[in-house]
Every structure is written in C-alpha cells, then in structure tokens.
Amino acid sequence: MPDSGRGAADAVVLDASVLTMDPALPYAEALAITGGRISHVGGRNEVAELIGPATDVIEAGGRVACPGFVDIHTHTDLDLFRDPEHLLFKNYLMQGITTVLAGNCGMSEMAPGELLARLDLHPPAVNFGTLAGHGYVRGACGIPAGLEDLSGEQIEAMKGVFEKAMADGAFGMSTGLEYIPGLSSRTAELIACATVVAEHGGFYASHMRSEGDHLLAAVEEAIRIGRDSGARVQLSHLKTDGACNWWKTDAVIGAIEAARADGIDVAGDQYPYRFFGWNPSIFIPGEHLAAGKPTLKSTYLRDPGHRRRIKAGIVDRIARYHGGDGDLVVVFDWTDGRGQRWQGTSLSRILTERGVTPTPEEVAELILEMLPDERDDAVMGTDLSTNDDAVRRYLSLPYLAVCTDGFNQPWLAPCHPRSYGAFPKVLGEYVREKRTLPLETALQKMTSLPASLMGLEDRGILRAGMRADVVVFDEATVGERATFEAPAAPAGIDFVLVNGVVTVDRRTAAADVFRLGTGSGQGGPGMVLRRPNRSASAAL
C-alpha cells in the first residue's frame, strides 16, 4: 500500500528502461501517473510504493519507456470529421504518436478556430494542434489562384485572417509553395503574413517552392522570410529530390547552419523514406499550373502548343529525376478511362500491360491521362526520387524532427506507409539496423525536440508534473510493417498512454495484433492544443 502521505497512483510503469529526455534525470527504472500527469520518476521500489488496489500496473519487462511521440507535420485535419473512426487516430497511436500538428503545406479545410471548437465537442484520441494554411487563407480572402501581384488591401485582408487564426490558437502558418495557390505567392506576401504570426509567437512552416532543381534558392527564401518577419522557420519534410540534385544535400545543410549561426531560428522535419507522395499535378511545370487546375484541364491540355510544352517538362523531369525509369513512379489507386483499376502499380507496369513500351514520353502521356480524372487530388501515388544517403544525412541533424507527413487513414490501402510506420521505421531501421544515430538521439527528435519547436512546455519530457504521454516499446523488435499494398500496425509498440489513459495495450491482444484500449472510445483522452499565449522560440 502507498505511504499514507502519498496517494496511490492511477498507473505505474515498472521494470522499464526509462529514457526521460530530462537532462536532470535522463534515466530511470519506473514512473507513476496520477491525474493525467507524471507524478514520480525513479527507481522500481519507490514507484512500487505508490501502487494501490486500483492502480494499473504495467510491467515493462525491460522495455524502453519514453515520452509519447510528437508529430509536428501531419495532414490529419483533412477529412477529420467525415468518419467517427478518424477521431481515434488509430494509425498514429499504434506507432506511438500521442500529439499531432495539422494544417501543414498550406492546406486547411476550415479556419483553425472552427476546427478546434469542433474538436472541443468531439475530443480526439491524441493531442491535436493546428497551423493556419496559407492556401486556405488566400482562398478565404477571395484571391484568384494565379494572382501574383496582390494589392495592399488583399495583403491586409490576409493578415487579418492570420491574426484571427493566431488569436484562436493556431501554432503558426504553413505554406505549400509547390501547390496551387502557394506557387503564385511572392516572397513579400509571405513575409507580411509571417510577421503577424511572429507577433503572436507562432512559426512559419514551409513546404518550399522546390525540393529538387531549385532547392537551394527555396531554402534561402525560407531563411529570408524568417529573418525579415522574425518568425521561427520550420522547413517541412526536408529532402533532396531527384538524382540530378542529390549533390545539393551538403549545400542545403550548410545554408541552414550558416543561418542558425547568424541567429535565424531555422529548424525542420523529415520523414524517413526515399519516396514521397504525389498527385499528377506535381509533375506539371509551375508556369502551367499557376493559373489553377480548371484552367490547366479545360484550356492548356486542349491546346496543342501548351500540351506539347507541358509534356516536354514531364519528360525532362522523368529523365533527370528517375533516369527515365517509370518503375520509380507508382500510383496508389486509379481507374482509367477504360474502366481498368490500378492499385499500387508502377507507371511502367501499366504501360507494359497495355502493350506500350514505357519510354519517358509514354510515362508522360500516362500522367497527362490521369490529370482529367484528378478530383481534388484523389489520384495519389509515390515517387522514388531521393537516396538513402540524403535520408541519413538529414536524420543526423539534431534540429530536424521526425514526422510522418501523413494522413489519418484507418487501414486505407494502398497508401504511403509513412502514415503507419514512420516513427518505428526510424527506431528499427536507422537506429537498430543501420546505426545511423543513437537511440537517445532518435527519441529526442521524436519527443522533446518537436515539443520544444511547438512551444509545448508540458510534453516531450518525462518529469513530475508533465502530461503523462508515454510510449513503451521493445528496442529489439520495434519497426515498420506497413507496405504500399498493405497497411499494418508496426512491431514492438506495446503500450501507449495519452494524458495517462492507456490507448494501446499489448495485454489485450494476441501476440501479433494491436488494438486500442479502453481510452479510445467516444470522447478520446487527447487534448485540443492551442498555441501558448506568449512569444515562443525553440532554444536549440
């Protein structure tokens, strides 16, 4: 029984290798949870004294216990309320993610205030915060997609929307500068908007204008926006795209570190894959895409001259980024005009099965064929165009957080496996197998770093008084099991607690199956997060 002066804990984790992320006490054997917060971290015997009749005792058996993972780059707000299952965040909890930040890449379905208010009424199973998408704000102000030169009134209107978003709790602004309408935005427009965000202590998260041919210029633009606006800069899903650009990785890192040395607060995030998600329009040269997809489809693709130039741009990208190999571009799910459904199929295979030689020109024709069927980016796929060396180089950077760049997809197939296994993939492949970075460093990039980047003072560290977001995993078996064709829970994630509530519980399932525990019914244990009402800058 607990000491009479100390109440019994709601839950304890015993016999664990506790990695706290707290410099004052980096390692421990056990921890206790009371009232949704960590109440004690220390040795087994002292924590065991807090066990009462109703205490949930989790025997870790030597497994690692650490803070719940914080995913700073997700798209989990999209379609969030379409299905009640989405509020369970199954594919996030099962990989140990307890906190997500949505609204990335300039995309938002609604104003942050409206989104967070709806979640107040329907609490999610994870802690949820959001950015304000620049693309959404442009649309809310009635600005045409292809307009580059905005009037002073239009800029002021956008600033007003960002002001409201920040007052309602957004953590910052995001941009999608390879997408419509972001690609039409000039730097001065972005600086003006980011200045409002900076005044509220928020940050500027950018899917930059280029991740390949113009990557260095794109990084420099993001740095300039940070310098001129005063906002902290978050470089979204940093990668080096295209075989012809792989040499730029060191130059990108050099530019970032030079900016940091000059006092500009630049950090970022990364998912641990060589391939990224795409829709067909990503292959279209920007000058043809800027006017918007309706103009592209109804005008440009029907004009022989425009179509010829667009196709030439696609052929050039396929040749330079992929060596002309259509096997490196895969579509998740597409039904062509002949009624044939293709799932998880490379573009080369589609052409071959049609009896067509998969040359770069024919691959380009196939991409153009997909465009008229693209309904709000319903045609999605993956593009294998970076290399493992770049993935590992970026993983070695202490200021890049691990992310999924994923969607809230309860067992949707086929899809990018990052939505199911990005964090376990780092632990299994890049820590245990490839030894790219030590376990403690990887966990820091999943917990205390992203929490700090978001300005969360009560998450990301296991310390008395902190919110009890906890993951218990098996260091020897943790890893990704999802593929493009078959989504699956990862291996080795045994327990996940959100604000002290067990949501993933190895004790309730067969040896090879995870299922959500008692805390994941209606009215989930997650909290709706609003940006702290102060100026916030990560001290890294």
pLDDT tens profile 325-364: 878 888 888 888 889 988 888 899 999 999 999 999 999 9
pLDDT of 82 > 60? The answer is: yes
Residues 166, 286 within the same domain: no
Q: Bridge-partner residues for 471, per DSSP?
A: 66, 496
Any domain includes 43: no
Q: How many domains does the chain have?
A: 2
Query: How does pLDDT run across 7-25, given as a tens digit for each residue?
Result: 899 999 999 999 999 999 9
Average pLDDT (196-223) is 97
Instruction: Supply the pLDDT for residue 516.
Output: 56
Residues 377, 429 within the same domain: no
The rounded distance, in Å, linking the Cα atoms of 487 and 417 is 7
Instruction: Supply the pLDDT for residue 307.
Output: 87
pLDDT of 288 > 80? The answer is: no
Half-sphere exposure of 149 (CA within 13 A, CB side): 0
Residues 309, 259 within the same domain: no
Using DSSP bridges, classify how beta strands 17-19 and 27-28 pair: parallel, antiparallel or unpaired.
Answer: antiparallel
Average pLDDT (499-508) is 91
Instruction: Supply the pLDDT for residue 523.
Output: 74
Average pLDDT (199-208) is 98
Using DSSP bridges, classify how beta strands 64-67 and 30-34 pair: parallel, antiparallel or unpaired.
Answer: unpaired
Alpha helices, DSSP H only, in 237-303?
249-261, 286-289, 293-298
Any domain includes 332: yes
- pLDDT range class, residue 540, cuts 50, 70, 90: very low
Residue 539, classified by CB atoms within 10 Å of its CB into exposed (0-12), middle (13-18) or buried (19+), is exposed
Average pLDDT (476-481) is 97
The rounded distance, in Å, linking the Cα atoms of 177 and 158 is 16
Any domain includes 485: no
Residues 286, 365 within the same domain: yes
Residues 295, 153 within the same domain: no
Q: Which of 336, 366, 382 is the last residue before a domain boundary?
A: 382
pLDDT top residue among 439 and 304: 439
Residues 136, 268 within the same domain: yes
Any domain includes 291: yes
Average pLDDT (479-488) is 88
52, 9 Cβ separation under 8 angstroms: yes
- Residue 75 is part of a domain; what is its CATH number? 3.20.20.140
Any domain includes 27: no
Residues 237, 273 within the same domain: yes
323, 360 Cβ separation under 8 angstroms: no
Q: Which of 382, 417, 443 is the last residue before a domain boundary?
A: 382
pLDDT of 297 > 80? The answer is: no
* Mean confidence (pLDDT) of the chain: 91
Any domain includes 219: yes
Tokens 């090879």 sit on residue: 512
> Nearest to residue 535, comparing CAs of 172, 205, 173?
172
Any domain includes 30: no
Residues 377, 394 within the same domain: no
418, 442 Cβ separation under 8 angstroms: no
Average pLDDT (270-286) is 83
For residue 244, the enclosing domain spans 67-277+385-459
The rounded distance, in Å, linking the Cα atoms of 123 and 296 is 40
The rounded distance, in Å, linking the Cα atoms of 488 and 415 is 11
Residues 307, 345 within the same domain: yes
Using DSSP bridges, classify how beta strands 470-473 and 64-67 pair: parallel, antiparallel or unpaired.
Answer: antiparallel
Instruction: Supply the pLDDT for residue 340.
Output: 92
Residues 169, 73 within the same domain: yes
The rounded distance, in Å, linking the Cα atoms of 217 and 273 is 23
Distance from CA of residue 44 to its chain's centroid? 36
Instruction: Supply the pLDDT for residue 377.
Output: 47
Residues 97, 141 within the same domain: yes
The rounded distance, in Å, linking the Cα atoms of 80 and 88 is 10
Residues 184, 236 within the same domain: yes
Average pLDDT (198-215) is 97
- pLDDT range class, residue 304, cuts 50, 70, 90: confident
Strand, coil or helix: 267:
strand
Any domain includes 13: no
Average pLDDT (195-223) is 97
200, 531 Cβ separation under 8 angstroms: yes
pLDDT of 1 > 60? The answer is: no
| Torsion angle of the four alpha carbons 32, 38, 40, 41, in this order, in degrees rounded to the nearest 10 | 90
The rounded distance, in Å, linking the Cα atoms of 494 and 504 is 7
pLDDT of 519 > 50? The answer is: no
Residues of 374-390 as b/e, b for ≥16 C-beta within 10 angstroms?
Answer: beebebbbbbbbbbeeb
Instruction: Supply the pLDDT for residue 511.
Output: 43
Q: Which of 435, 459, 483 is the last residue before a domain boundary?
A: 459
